Amino acid sequence: MNPLLNRRTFLSDSACGLSGIALASLLQESGLLGASPIRPKIDSGQPFAPRDTHFSGRAKNVLVIFCSGACSHVDTFEFKPELLKRHGQPMPGAEGLKTFQGDQGNLTRSPWEFHPRGQSGKMVSNLVPMLGDMADEMCFVHSLTGKTNTHGPGENFMSTGYTLDGFPSMGAWVTWALGSENSNLPAYVAIPDPRGTPQSSVNNWGPGFLPAAFQGTDFNATKPLRNLDRPVGVDAKTDRATRGFLQRLNERHLAHYPGDSQLAARISSYELAAKMQLSVPEVSDLSTEPQSIVKMYGADDATNPLKASFAKNCILARRLIEKGVRFVQLFNGAYQTGGEGVSNWDGHKKIVEQYSKHGPVLDQPAAALLRDLKQRGLLKDTLVVWCTEFGRMPTFQKGASGRDHNPDGFTGWLAGAGVKKGFSYGATDAFGWKAAENVSTIYDFHATILHLLGLDHKRLTYYHNGFERRLTDVHGHVIQDVLA
């Protein structure tokens, strides 16, 4: 008889299997099998109501400045003297190296000079001099590493922790966990670049498998929220009366179906949409800003309309943070076919020409945003995150005057609530090719952001298709050295 079909063997194996399941259950209950999930308790009628943190956090809000297109770290925030010394020479250990777009040429110094900035003396490029002036507020992580050298998956990875589509964004995780301090505005707002969306588009602010309510609401200073205005021919009084009547009908309908969470959530979303008819135009109306603020951001720069438009988005971002919006994601750079490097930071072919146009679009408005948050006292509770999907090579591509994709070592920085000021953590090698000192992953970056909000990245999970999913997957640790 086949021993696999033996009754005694079957019963014995079954008993062992059941005992193993029982042991796993006991270990889980005792907290010995691993961290147990902490899921937010969400009132479906008030899905964005503020919720408790896991522990006391330093930040209440997050503002992400995402430079789409892969901004070069060796031309902005990471100074490499060896590139000056070995300019035009082959990179040691990289003979025959092929990267995303093929063969690599020789080491190439940055076309922009680096100078020490502020009391910290941080070396920052002349490409972003005004951001350099704010270096004493920044906490640099120079040793980030990614998992892909392709823009779309790279944006996904930075925004969601996964290279594939369909996973929740940082903002979705945060607002699912914490709700918002403002009941009249979305908990999560994405502000696309004036020229369009990043390459991975709405994946950057999507909810993935989390409830759809936690998707980012996207609008910017020049393109208001869609379908917000009253229909033509309907005056304000009639509109208010209609919304009041609809609210009473919804309340009566809900009373007939107590406990129906989906119905309650749908009604709540309608009510938020009605509130936004008043709140969004108010927060988007930049005409109330003092001229001195408009000038500080560069929003009045008639010589550079792209900079002026991005500056208006930066002012909008500050106003949203000021109103208590939990998570704001501000994009600098958009994906446009045929517009390589001019519309975003994808500097493959003519990096001097491309970055010389794009650098000024970012520099003054983003620096003013950081300065404005500080002078209003908002940096005490706001974590500012500057990031990009990956870095650039220290070499120029063969046959081109630009740098190829490099996920093996690049820079991000934090500022504001809970992080050290004028501090640098980690480094790439002497040329800026690979992370070499205190190597960090995007999972670590995400874990640190959640920690600063008072969230344990290992315990903030959502059960989906048989897995306890989290922003950091099964990886990541908090970068303790950057915490103030």
Same domain, yes or no, for 14 and 121? no
Query: In this structure, is residue 447 part of a structural domain?
Result: yes
pLDDT of the chain, 484 residues: tens digit per residue: 455 556 666 666 666 666 655 554 554 444 444 579 999 998 877 889 999 999 999 999 999 999 999 999 999 999 999 999 999 999 998 888 889 988 999 999 999 999 999 999 999 999 999 999 999 999 999 999 999 999 999 999 999 999 999 999 999 999 999 999 998 999 999 999 998 999 999 999 999 999 988 999 999 998 776 655 666 677 777 767 776 777 677 777 767 777 665 665 566 665 666 677 778 888 888 999 999 999 999 999 999 999 999 999 999 999 999 999 999 999 999 987 654 445 899 999 899 999 999 999 999 999 999 999 999 999 999 999 999 999 999 999 999 999 999 999 999 999 999 999 999 999 999 999 999 999 999 999 999 999 999 999 999 999 999 999 999 999 999 999 999 9
* 163-181 burial: b if 16+ Cβ within 10 Å, else e: beeebbbbbbbbbbbbbbb
Query: In this structure, is residue 281 part of a structural domain?
Result: no
Same domain, yes or no, for 117 and 223? yes
Q: Are 448 and 387 in contact (CB under 8 A)?
A: no
Same domain, yes or no, for 70 and 23? no
Same domain, yes or no, for 20 and 114? no
Same domain, yes or no, for 4 and 113? no
**Dihedral of the alpha carbons of 102, 106, 107, 108, in degrees to the nearest 10:** -90
Burial class (CB in 10 A: 0-12, 13-18, 19+), 20: exposed
* Cβ-Cβ contacts under 8 Å for 311 (sequence gap 6 or more): 297, 298, 299, 301, 364, 365, 368
Type of residue numbered 320? L
Query: In this structure, is residue 395 part of a structural domain?
Result: yes
Query: In this structure, is residue 242 part of a structural domain?
Result: no
Separation of alpha carbons 167 and 158, rounded Å:
12
Separation of alpha carbons 176 and 166, rounded Å:
16
Domain that holds residue 337: 61-227+288-482
Same domain, yes or no, for 7 and 115? no
Query: In this structure, is residue 235 part of a structural domain?
Result: no
Same domain, yes or no, for 205 and 149? yes
Separation of alpha carbons 429 and 78, rounded Å:
11
Show the tokens assigned to 56: 């006391």
Q: Are 216 and 170 in contact (CB under 8 A)?
A: no
Same domain, yes or no, for 1 and 136? no
Separation of alpha carbons 214 and 473, rounded Å:
19
The pLDDT value recorded for residue 90 is 95
Same domain, yes or no, for 74 and 20? no
CATH code for the domain in which residue 369 is found: 3.40.720.10
The pTM (predicted TM-score) of the whole model is: 0.88
Pairs from 126-132 (Cβ < 8 Å, separation ≥ 24)? 127/75, 127/76, 127/355, 127/356, 127/359, 127/363, 128/76, 128/77, 128/359, 128/362, 128/363, 128/367, 129/363, 130/363, 130/364, 130/367, 130/368, 131/362, 131/363, 131/366, 131/367, 131/370
Q: How far from each other are the two terminal CA atoms of the chain, in whole angstroms? A: 69
Same domain, yes or no, for 120 and 71? yes
Same domain, yes or no, for 415 and 344? yes
Query: In this structure, is residue 198 part of a structural domain?
Result: yes
Total count of domains within the chain: 2
The pLDDT value recorded for residue 108 is 97
CA torsion sign for 454, 457, 459, 462 is positive
Same domain, yes or no, for 194 and 305? yes
C-alpha closest to that of 444 among 462, 461, 458: 458
Query: In this structure, is residue 91 part of a structural domain?
Result: yes
Query: In this structure, is residue 237 part of a structural domain?
Result: no
